[in-house]
């Protein structure tokens, strides 16, 4: 008998537990608070799935297997596009309702999302975490192909870009990395504009200056070296 034979849709997905986790706190009740919670919680679920896939991308690259990594990048891009759209859905929250539910938030802020930070670290977009990032793993692959990755890394990247026929997988992966970077810049820009619509110039609940902080974050690049030349990486726009 297989392990799953006693499962139902409800039990396999743990729906009773999952659907008990959306608990609006505002009193009197604010209609849009459920949407506010669902958009945040689904972000965290997708963050979990993205971390799972990015770790597999990193491991495939460290293993010298670029193609499974490229397949998974396709999925990672689609999920990130979905999250960019999800931010937009929150713009349908009436401003009046946002002000009412803001009291219930207290100090809570997306700034405290541990999975968001982990996504940046695992991608290689912030200072090293515990293990190698996706960017570290890409550089290991570049090194394994005999191209220098020390101070001459920019030259190696130029060579990869100039000779996609010689390094099709390295060039394709550079496109994936740049697309990944670009999609997260887009998420941060979309989040900034959405937040600005709600809070204008007042500080965020997490204690930062609010939109000024978010604007500085939106300008950040995970992989600045991949933004020097348009050349073959322009194909990342599809």
Indicate the length of the chain as a whole number: 238
d(CA 157, CA 152): 9
191 contributes a contact to ligand HEM by CB under 6 A: yes
116 contributes a contact to ligand HEM by CB under 6 A: yes
Stretch that binds ligand HEM, among 26-34, 36-44, 71-79, 132-140 (CB under 6 A): 36-44
Q: How many CA atoms lie within 13 A of 237 on its CB side?
A: 4
d(CA 195, CA 141): 39
d(CA 171, CA 59): 19
d(CA 137, CA 63): 9
Return the residue of 204, 222, 223, 226 that touches ligand HEM, per CB under 6 A: 204
**DSSP H helical ranges for 63-203:** 66-89, 95-105, 114-123, 134-144, 153-162, 168-199
Q: Does residue 88 contact residue 168 with C-beta atoms inside 8 Å?
A: no
104 contributes a contact to ligand HEM by CB under 6 A: no
Return the residue of 111, 215, 225, 232 that touches ligand HEM, per CB under 6 A: 111
Q: Please report how close the Cβ of residue 79 comes to ligand HEM at its closest, in angstroms.
A: 13
- Site size for ligand HEM, by CB under 6 A? 24
When the beta carbons of 38 and 153 are compared against ligand HEM, the nearer one is 38
30 contributes a contact to ligand HEM by CB under 6 A: no
110 contributes a contact to ligand HEM by CB under 6 A: yes
Binding site for ligand HEM (CB under 6 A): 39-40, 43, 90, 98, 109-111, 113, 116, 188, 191, 195, 198-199, 204-208, 210, 213-214, 217
């Amino acid at each position: 008998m297989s392990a799953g034979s006693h499962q139902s849709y409800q039990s396999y997905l743990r729906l009773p537990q999952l659907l008990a986790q959306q608990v609006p706190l505002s009193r009197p009740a604010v209609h849009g608070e459920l949407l506010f919670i669902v958009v945040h919680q689904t972000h965290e679920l997708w963050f979990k799935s993205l971390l799972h896939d990015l770790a597999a991308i990193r491991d495939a690259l460290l293993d010298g297997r670029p193609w499974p990594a490229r397949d998974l990048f396709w999925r990672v891009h689609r999920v990130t596009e979905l999250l960019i759209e999800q931010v937009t859905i929150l713009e349908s929250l009436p401003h009046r309702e946002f002000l009412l539910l803001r009291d219930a938030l207290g100090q809570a802020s997306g700034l405290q999302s541990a999975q968001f930070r982990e996504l940046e670290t695992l991608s290689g977009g912030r200072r090293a975490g515990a293990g190698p990032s996706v960017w570290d793993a890409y550089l290991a692959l570049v090194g394994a192909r005999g191209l220098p990755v020390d101070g001459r890394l920019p030259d190696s990247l130029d060579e990869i870009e100039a000779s996609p026929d010689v390094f099709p997988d390295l060039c394709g992966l550079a496109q994936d990395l740049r697309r990944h970077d670009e999609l997260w810049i887009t998420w941060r820009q979309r989040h900034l504009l959405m937040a600005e619509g709600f809070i204008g110039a007042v500080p965020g609940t997490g204690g930062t200056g609010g939109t000024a902080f978010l604007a500085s974050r939106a300008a950040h690049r995970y992989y600045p070296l991949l933004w020097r030349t348009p050349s073959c990486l322009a194909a990342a726009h599809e």
